[in-house]
Amino acid sequence: MNRYRPLSELAKTIRSKNAGVDKITFDVIFTDRAAYDLVRRSRALTRESVARLYNIPESRISDFVEYDPGCAIKFTILRVRPSGSPGDSDIFGSQQYAPLLDVPVDLSA
């Protein structure tokens, strides 16, 4: 049996969106506490792992929150350039979540 599952199989919602013109925020929301706790224990999503995944310095992650009441992990990344400026490839920030889908989560955590 495979001891890893992709994050997309454990989370109900994985999304990204603008958080003002200078930031993109990400939400990973779980339907149940067990899946949320498993991902937290596995350390599949941390400030450090997000920085590696997106190949950015940790200093670009302005917020990283494990929100227990909502069974959600939320983080915000500072944009390199403002939303809608020349060279911006995703004006709404809604296409940035894709790398999160395949994040491996260790089921033995």
Tens-place pLDDT, residues 72-92: 999 999 999 889 889 888 889
34-54: average pLDDT = 97
CA 51/CA 57 separation, integer angstroms: 6
pLDDT at 1: 63
Q: Which domains does the chain have, with CATH numbers?
A: 4-102 (3.30.70)
Residue closest to 100 by CA, chosen among 3, 30, 21, 22: 30
Q: Mind listing the pLDDT tens digit for each residue in 19-32?
A: 989 999 999 999 99
Question: Within a 10 A sphere around the Cβ of 60, how many other Cβ atoms?
Answer: 15
Asked whether the beta carbons of 30 and 10 are under 8 A apart, the reply is yes
pTM (2 d.p.): 0.93
Whether 4 has a pLDDT exceeding 80, the answer reads yes
- Residue-level pLDDT at 64: 98
